[in-house]
């Protein structure tokens, strides 16, 4: 598609500085963009590359002096470019209707404009809202509810008694409502504890590929509005996660953990069971969260402690070989001095 720069400026509520007659034929990264294409700069460290880019238009939060480009000036270039991606590349929908190879129980309730792909299975008592898209090979268990405009990609398994909100995105291979890891040890054996709770996922949640979210043992595992999961995250039974939280790849959360709003758990962070993590906490990659974390903290390490202290510790850690050599040298000198001092005390010292 070719779009006048003026129309784009109206769409983004942006100020045009430069040629208002330009036609934009596409979007591209800063270094790959060609004439007629639009790119963006949101990080100051890339400002030096603005002049060398072949992009005709740059979305920025200011005009770069000495750069011969047309600028679209906005408050948040990254977000504005995201909006343009939706404009230039509208999401493709699955074909509306039920594929002949799909299997639906007799008492399934479907909204309008629903898409159900090949070999999908929808069990008894399921309620599916308007414009929901169910991909190929998806299983939806009994008495599950899926809200309007939700997108479920192929080969997702949604077990029984799961509630999914509106505009949720679930990527390939995710498993929602698997049994929690609960066993009672009795007379030398581990006896399975029935996991009879459910999972409740609020609106605008995105769940990455191969994520597993366990059902509650008795109550529900709950995921708050707008929370985003990267790939291969595991959430155990009865976990409560707040709104707009980010869980990055390979995060693992043990059972009965409560996580607040706007929390970030970076890649491979792990959380011990029955803890509480307050709002706006950031846990750096590979952090082992081993006790409750107050709101607003940034933590690192295993067991975790203040990120600032962790950074200082890393500096010391790099110096450990030199410090070890220095300690050995000082220990030798101290041992020599102690021998000389002992000799002086006993009158055997040299004059």
Catalytic residues: 237
Residue 102's nearest CA partner among 115, 116, 90 is 116
Burial 264-296 (b: 16+ CB within 10 A, else e): bbbbebbbbeebebbbebbbbeebbbeeebeee
The answer to whether residues 200 and 163 touch, using CB atoms and an 8 Å cutoff, is yes
CA distances from 243 to 225, 278, 287, 288, 294 (A): 5, 12, 21, 22, 17
Contact between 213 and 199 (Cβ < 8 Å): yes
What Cα–Cα distance (Å) separates residue 215 from each residue in 106, 198, 255?
26, 5, 10
CB within 8 Å of 350: residues ≥ 6 apart = none
C-alpha separations of 93 from 134, 153, 173 in Å: 10, 11, 19
CB 194 within 8 A of CB 202: no
Residues 90 and 268: their CA atoms lie apart, in Å, by 33
Report the candidate in 57, 62, 65, 229 with the shortest Cα–Cα distance to residue 156: 229
- Beta bridge mates, 60: 73
Sign of the C-alpha dihedral computed for residues 48, 49, 54 and 55 taken in this order: negative
Rounded Cα distance, 97 and 86, in Å: 24
């Amino acid at each position: 598609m070719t779009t006048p720069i003026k129309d784009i400026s109206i769409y983004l509520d942006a100020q045009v500085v430069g040629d208002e007659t330009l036609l934009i034929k596409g979007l591209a990264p800063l270094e790959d963009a060609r004439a007629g294409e639009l790119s963006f700069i949101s990080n100051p460290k890339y400002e030096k590359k603005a002049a060398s880019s072949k992009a005709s238009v740059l979305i920025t939060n200011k005009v770069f002096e000495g750069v011969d480009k047309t600028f679209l000036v906005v408050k948040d270039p990254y977000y504005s470019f995201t909006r343009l991606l939706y404009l230039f590349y509208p999401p493709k929908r699955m074909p509306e209707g039920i594929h002949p190879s799909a299997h639906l129980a007799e008492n399934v309730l479907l909204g309008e404009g629903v898409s159900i792909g090949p070999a999908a299975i929808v069990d008894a008592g399921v309620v599916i809202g308007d414009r929901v898209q169910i991909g190929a090979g998806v299983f939806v268990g009994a008495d599950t509810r899926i809200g309007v405009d939700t997108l479920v990609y192929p080969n997702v398994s949604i077990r029984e008694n799961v509630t999914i909100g509106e505009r949720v995105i679930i990527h390939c291979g995710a498993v929602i409502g698997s049994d929690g890891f609960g066993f009672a040890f009795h007379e030398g054996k581990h006896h399975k504890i029935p996991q009879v709770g459910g999972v409740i996922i609020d609106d605008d949640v995105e769940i990455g590929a191969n994520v597993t979210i366990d059902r509650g043992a008795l109550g529900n595992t709950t995921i708050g509005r707008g929370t985003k999961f990267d790939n291969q995250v595991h959430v155990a039974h009865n976990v409560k996660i707040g709104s707009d939280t980010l869980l990055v790849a390979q995060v693992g959360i043990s059972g009965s953990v409560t996580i607040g709003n706007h929390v970030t758990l970076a890649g491979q962070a792990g959380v011990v069971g029955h803890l509480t993590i307050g709002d706006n906490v950031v846990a750096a990659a590979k952090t082992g969260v081993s006790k409750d974390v107050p709101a607003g903290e940034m933590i690192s390490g295993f067991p975790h402690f203040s990120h600032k202290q962790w950074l200082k510790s890393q500096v010391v850690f790099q110096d450990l070989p030199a410090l070890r050599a220095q300690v050995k040298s000082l220990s030798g000198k101290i041992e020599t001095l102690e021998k000389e001092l002992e000799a002086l005390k006993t009158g055997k010292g040299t004059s």
